[in-house]
Structure 1
Amino acid sequence: MEISSFLLPKDQVAYITSTISMREALEQLENHYYSAIPIIDEEGKYVGTLSEGDLLWKLKNTEGLSFENMTGVTVSTIQRHVHNESVEIHAQMEDMLTLAADQNFVPVVDSSGTFLGIIRRKDIIEYYTRNITD
């Protein structure tokens, strides 16, 4: 089964751009109660996922950085420790199980890498649960 029927589209997903500040990214995570959020570039391409841990490591390892001056740090300069692999929109659900084991969500892109949305781990697990018990 193609994953497109499980897609939570971009307009229903919180995401950030690589040009926003560390403070803005932190606020987005807090506002949406997320522990990680997709990052897209200026062209709308998926470039990675930023996690709470990434922000904490940056804060800990950058001398003089504090909550007050985080606005001077852009997301693109923050080292990411987790790599959420993306899949193309025409992938099959069978391709998703391995990714769901390590990722809360799987970013979905088109053939040019443009971010289309996500598939949540919850939806992948529910799909397999239904098919195993049927």
Structure 2
Amino acid sequence: MRIEHFLLPKDRVAYLSAGATMLDAITHLERCNYSAIPVIDETGKYIGTLSEGDLLWKLKNTPGLTFDNLDTIPVTQIKKRIHHECVQLGADLDDMLQLAADQNFVPVVADDGLFIGIIRRRDIIEYYTRNITD
């Protein structure tokens, strides 16, 4: 089996552009009911994953930052506490499974780093649960 089997393509995934603000991130996370979201630069390359925790720590640790001025903080200025690894589309299934054990989703990129989608841990678990035989 190849990792493409589990791929949720970019056009079906919520993500943020690098030009988004902290307010955009909170609004987007609330709308899609995610706890973390991929961030993509202006060329379409995956540059990281932003989590709810990252947003909360930024709010807590930035004097003067309130809900009223969240639109002044670009997402690229928010420190990410956990580095979410991505996999290339042609990666080994075992490599992807190792990442999925520690991440809710695994971002998938093309050879040139372009973001092409995600693999959700939930989909992996559902697949193996349906296909496990004694």
TM over 0.5: yes
Aligned counterparts of 1:5 and 1:61: Cα–Cα separation in 2: 41
Deviation sequence 1:44-77 (CA, Å, 0-9, x none)? 0000000000000000000000000010100000
TM-score when normalising by structure 2: 0.94
Q: Who is 1:129 aligned against? A: 129
* Structure 2 segments unaligned to the other structure (5+ residues): none
1:25 to 1:79, Cα distance in 2 relative to 1, 3 A = same
- Aligned twin of 2:58: 58
- 8 Å CA contact 1:96–1:124 kept in 2: the answer is no
Q: Identity of paired residues, percent?
A: 63
Q: Which runs of 5+ in 1 are unaligned?
A: none
Aligned length: 134
Q: Which residue of 2 aligns with 1:14?
A: 14
- Give the aligned partner of residue 116 of structure 1: 116
1:84 maps to a residue whose letter is H
TM-score, normalized by length of structure 1? 0.94
Q: Is the 8 A contact 1:9 1:117 kept in 2?
A: yes
Alpha-carbon RMSD across the aligned residues, in angstroms, is: 1.2
4+ runs deviating over 6 angstroms: none
